[in-house]
């Protein structure tokens, strides 16, 4: 999800019903020193460093946007937080990324082996600002005795909760597990109960496909979700395949006819870099649809997507005219809100109830 969780996908996910959205993991040193720049036409806020945009966000998503931070140093974590604090609802310290770039810096899953270091950024962050800290964490390896599966995790979670975090996300796979292996959802229940007792919301991640398999996820988690011990289920790969997986009523929408044109309009309206938009669309599964395309149609679309070198060519592949492309580009902030009407309405209710952050 490093390149998928960008602004267009986040806004469309919110419109389909996502309750929180996370940005891509940004390393502390990358965002520190970045200059905040606002495009007053689109409303997009960009953090620019050395002539390159490090992170983009929008006031429209702010009430439910979590900035995902990669850090192993409490001072750098606080410094990074201060750069983005006015534009996000919370900051999540990534404690589960198994990628080499993260591990080599002592970040991500490497923090699981160093609880003292892990808890230092967490304990420093709440004191730094009002932005609510979140600590996404992967599971440590299971104990030898299956009956004590959660034992390695419980002491760590207790320490993390003691730092004053506002939210905990548990990725139900260990560092060495592959995505093809079933998530260890059964280990959620004791962790969820611990968080529940501490009054800290907990999010479960692993094998979720949206509402389609929500009941199955509830059962596999030992009833933790259904018992309301778990406050939410995080989706990643299913959202990558078809972001309408967050849609509660009516099931998935058709990628070719509905979801991709919607994403393209939002990407144009926010001036998202074309290479990132193309990456997002190519990661989607056109068969994740109520009406999957034929093999020939799928092959033709994928070929045109791969060959497209501009927004115009990509939009043409999905039946959007040149006039539609220009209207989306010129939409401005008001036009952007019209592209995500359900989220815009929900956002107004959130602001009425909670106030502007």
The sign of the torsion formed by the CA atoms of 237, 239, 242, 247 equals: positive
Give residue 134's pLDDT: 58
Report, as ranges of residue numbers, the positions in the chain whose pLDDT lies below 70.
Answer: 1-2, 121-151, 212-229, 357
Contacts of 137 (CB under 8 A, 6+ apart): 95, 96, 112, 156, 157, 160, 168, 169, 170, 171
Taking residue 202's Cβ as centre, other Cβ atoms within 10 Å add up to 23
Q: Return the bridge partners of 92, or none.
A: 68, 134
Burial class (CB in 10 A: 0-12, 13-18, 19+), 52: exposed
- The C-alpha atoms of residue 344 and residue 121 are separated, in whole angstroms, by 34
- The C-alpha atoms of residue 164 and residue 353 are separated, in whole angstroms, by 24
- Interior/surface letters 125-144, b for 16+ CB within 10 angstroms, e for the rest: bbebeebbbbbbbbbbebee
Give residue 176's pLDDT: 81
> Would you say how long the chain is, in residues?
357
Domain ranges of the chain: 7-242, 255-340
Tokens for 240? 């990558």
Q: Which of 57, 95, 97, 218 is catalytic?
A: 97
- The C-alpha atoms of residue 129 and residue 126 are separated, in whole angstroms, by 6
Taking residue 90's Cβ as centre, other Cβ atoms within 10 Å add up to 23
Let me know if 97 is a catalytic residue: yes
- The C-alpha atoms of residue 164 and residue 137 are separated, in whole angstroms, by 15
- The C-alpha atoms of residue 54 and residue 31 are separated, in whole angstroms, by 7
Contacts of 309 (CB under 8 A, 6+ apart): none
Give Cα separations from 178 to 83, 103, 173, 288, 336 (angstroms). 34, 17, 8, 22, 38
Could you report the per-residue pLDDT of 108-132, keeping only the tens digit for each? 777 878 888 888 765 555 443 334 4
Contacts of 154 (CB under 8 A, 6+ apart): 190, 191, 194
- The C-alpha atoms of residue 105 and residue 100 are separated, in whole angstroms, by 9
Give residue 356's pLDDT: 76
Whether the predicted model's global pTM rises above the 0.95 cut: no
Give Cα separations from 23 to 9, 69, 224 (angstroms). 10, 9, 26
Give residue 138's pLDDT: 56
Give residue 42's pLDDT: 97
Q: Which fold has domain 7-242?
A: TIM Barrel (3.20.20)
Whether the CB-CB separation of 340 and 15 falls below 8 Å is answered with yes
Give residue 113's pLDDT: 81
């Amino acid at each position: 999800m490093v390149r998928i969780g960008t602004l267009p996908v986040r806004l469309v996910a919110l419109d389909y019903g996502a309750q929180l959205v996370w940005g891509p993991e940004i390393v502390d040193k990358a965002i520190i020193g970045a200059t905040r720049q606002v495009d007053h036409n689109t409303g997009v806020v960009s953090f620019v460093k050395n002539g390159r945009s490090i992170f983009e966000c929008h006031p429209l998503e702010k009430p439910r946007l979590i900035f995902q931070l990669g850090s192993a140093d409490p001072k750098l974590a606080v410094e990074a937080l201060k750069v983005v604090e006015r534009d996000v609802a919370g900051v999540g310290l990534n404690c589960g990324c198994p990628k080499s770039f993260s591990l080599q810096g002592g970040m991500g899953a490497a923090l699981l082996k160093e609880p003292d270091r892990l808890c230092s950024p967490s304990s420093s962050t709440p004191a730094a600002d009002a932005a609510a800290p979140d600590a996404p964490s992967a599971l440590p390896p299971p104990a030898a005795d299956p009956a004590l599966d959660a034992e390695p995790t419980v002491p760590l979670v207790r320490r993390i909760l003691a730092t004053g975090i506002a939210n905990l996300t548990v990725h139900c796979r260990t560092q060495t597990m592959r995505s093809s292996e079933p998530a260890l959802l059964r280990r959620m229940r004791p962790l969820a109960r611990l968080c529940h007792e501490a009054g800290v919301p907990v999010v479960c991640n692993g094998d979720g496909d949206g509402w389609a398999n929500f009941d199955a996820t509830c059962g596999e988690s030992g009833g933790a979700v259904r018992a309301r011990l778990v406050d939410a289920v995080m989706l990643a790969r299913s959202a990558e395949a078809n972001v309408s997986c967050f849609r509660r009523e009516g099931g998935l929408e058709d990628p070719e006819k509905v979801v991709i044109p919607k994403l393209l309009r939002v990407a144009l309206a926010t001036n998202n870099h074309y290479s990132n938009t193309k990456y997002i669309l190519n990661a989607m599964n056109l068969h994740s649809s109520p009406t999957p395309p034929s093999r020939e149609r799928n092959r033709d679309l994928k070929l045109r997507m791969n060959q497209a070198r501009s927004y115009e060519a990509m939009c043409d592949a999905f039946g959007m005219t040149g006039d539609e492309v220009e209207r989306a580009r010129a939409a401005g902030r008001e036009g952007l809100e019209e592209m995500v009407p359900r989220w815009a309405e929900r956002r107004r209710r959130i602001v009425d109830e909670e106030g502007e952050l």
